[in-house]
């Protein structure tokens, strides 16, 4: 099987997303699916919210047209789960469904891919691995959605994470993972052309839930020939460090401040960086840089000799813990009382 088959998927995903985003913007305006300015938002005018339609369609078409037939069942389950999330995301963007309905649908999407054989195999027993898989998929789906609080943030970070997954998968000869990652990378970058600051359109839940779901599955599907499990579990955590870091930061902060974890607020990593005086673009570039840095650590862990890989991985996780403490301190010093 051609190991470079991800190239047409990447190119088509990008071209389709680039072409479909203006169309999705017009549909959103016509249907009234817009993000209105508010106290907790950064933007100052109505923004169309259906960029996720372009991302989902570009992602799906690129896979259907170019993906290997060997992975049909797993691709089918994944696309079905993503379609479900795209639909509930659209309804949430339009009618604000609330967190409970979103969570139920996310669990259903996770169970769909588990039924097709996509699950974590950490403990080698379904009683532990299946619930862990659901937790991982639901957490990451929400984490990427939480990140969607600034122009270009979710699309950019999803593209960077997908690029590292694609590189790792290509190195390991994993055609399913490299194809999926290429589809995410192409469709996210095509949309990012219109979403980079200042954005003319947003992806909304319809896009963010789909990207988070697929990135979670990429993390599960990575396999490593040489490295032991004691090292490889760190790879997806490092590649996806930023969305996981941000959701932990936000949920802990909101619970500590007596608020609901599902309630929106200006307490994300991006908001904390801006409270230090960084502009939106500077904040975006800092977070892109951090995502590239941790993605590179994940790549090193996947290819380095076991001893070095373990030390690099642990150092990366320790650094995340230090950054977490810094972000908590920034919240206390600069943001509370604003």
Digit-coded pLDDT (tens) for 162-212: 999 999 999 998 988 999 999 999 999 999 999 998 889 999 999 999 999
229 within domain boundaries: yes
260 within domain boundaries: yes
* pTM tops 0.85: yes
The domain tally of the chain equals 1
* Cα separation values, 133 from 18, 20, 253, Å: 33, 32, 25
153 within domain boundaries: yes
Average pLDDT, the chain: 91
Beta bridge partners of 48: 34
Per-residue confidence at 338, pLDDT binned at 50, 70, 90? very low
Asked if residues 138 and 110 have their Cβ atoms less than 8 Å apart, the reply is yes
258 within domain boundaries: yes
**Per-residue pLDDT, 34:** 85
Full residue range of the structural domain in which residue 178 is found = 6-335
User: In sequence order, which residues have a C-beta less than 8 Å from that of residue 124 and are 6 or more positions away?
Assistant: none
Between CA 154 and CA 156 the distance in angstroms is 6
Per-residue confidence at 229, pLDDT binned at 50, 70, 90? confident
Helix (H, G, I), strand (E, B) or coil at 48: strand
Average pLDDT score over residue span 86-96 = 91
**Per-residue pLDDT, 87:** 96
Taking the CA of residue 232 as centre, how many other CA atoms within 13 Å lie in the half-sphere pointing to its CB? 20
Percentage above 90 pLDDT, the chain:
75
213 within domain boundaries: yes
Between CA 255 and CA 25 the distance in angstroms is 36
Between CA 131 and CA 92 the distance in angstroms is 26
User: In sequence order, which residues have a C-beta less than 8 Å from that of residue 97 and are 6 or more positions away?
Assistant: 88, 91
**Per-residue pLDDT, 268:** 94
**Chain length of the chain:** 338
Per-residue confidence at 99, pLDDT binned at 50, 70, 90? confident
7-54 pLDDT, tens digit each: 999 999 999 999 999 999 999 989 888 877 655 555 456 788 889 999
Cα angle 269-270-272, degrees, rounded to a multiple of 5: 65
43 within domain boundaries: yes
Helix (H, G, I), strand (E, B) or coil at 279: coil
Six-digit token string for 87: 């639909």
1 within domain boundaries: no
**Per-residue pLDDT, 70:** 77
**Per-residue pLDDT, 67:** 78
**Per-residue pLDDT, 151:** 92
304-321 pLDDT, tens digit each: 999 999 999 999 999 999
**Per-residue pLDDT, 336:** 58
Whether the per-residue pLDDT at 88 is higher than 50: the answer is: yes
Between CA 178 and CA 223 the distance in angstroms is 12
258-307 pLDDT, tens digit each: 888 888 788 899 999 999 999 999 999 999 999 999 999 999 999 999 99
328 within domain boundaries: yes
């Amino acid at each position: 099987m051609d190991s470079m088959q991800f190239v047409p998927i990447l190119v088509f995903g990008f071209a389709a997303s680039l072409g479909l985003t203006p169309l999705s913007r017009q549909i959103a305006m016509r249907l009234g699916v817009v993000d209105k300015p508010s106290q907790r938002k950064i933007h100052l005018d109505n923004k169309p919210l259906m960029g996720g339609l372009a991302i989902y369609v570009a992602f799906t078409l690129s896979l259907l047209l170019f993906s290997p037939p060997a992975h049909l069942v797993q691709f089918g389950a994944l696309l079905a789960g993503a379609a479900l999330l795209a639909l509930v995301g659209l309804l949430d963007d339009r009618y604000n469904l609330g967190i409970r309905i979103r969570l139920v649908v996310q669990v259903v999407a996770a169970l769909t891919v588990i039924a097709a054989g996509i699950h974590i195999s950490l403990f080698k027993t379904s009683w532990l691995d299946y619930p862990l898989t659901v937790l991982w998929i639901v957490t990451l789906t929400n984490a990427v959605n939480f990140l969607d609080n600034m122009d270009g943030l979710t699309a950019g970070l999803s593209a960077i994470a997908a690029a590292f997954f694609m590189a790792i998968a290509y190195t390991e000869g994993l055609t399913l993972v490299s194809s999926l990652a290429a589809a995410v990378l192409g469709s996210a970058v095509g949309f990012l052309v219109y979403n980079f600051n200042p954005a003319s359109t947003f992806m909304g839940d319809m896009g963010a839930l789909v990207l988070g779901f697929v990135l979670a599955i990429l993390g599960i599907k990575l396999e490593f020939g040489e490295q032991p499990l004691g090292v490889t579990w760190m790879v997806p955590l490092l590649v996806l460090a930023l969305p996981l870091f941000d959701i932990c930061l936000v949920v802990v902060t909101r619970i500590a401040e007596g608020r609901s974890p599902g309630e929106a607020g200006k307490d994300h990593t991006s908001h904390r960086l801006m409270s230090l005086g960084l502009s939106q673009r500077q904040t975006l570039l800092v977070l892109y840089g951090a995502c590239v840095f941790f993605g590179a650590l994940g790549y090193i862990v996947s290819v380095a000799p076991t001893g070095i890989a373990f030390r690099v991985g642990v150092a990366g996780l320790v650094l995340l813990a230090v950054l977490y403490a810094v972000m908590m301190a920034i919240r206390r010093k600069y943001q509370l009382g604003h």
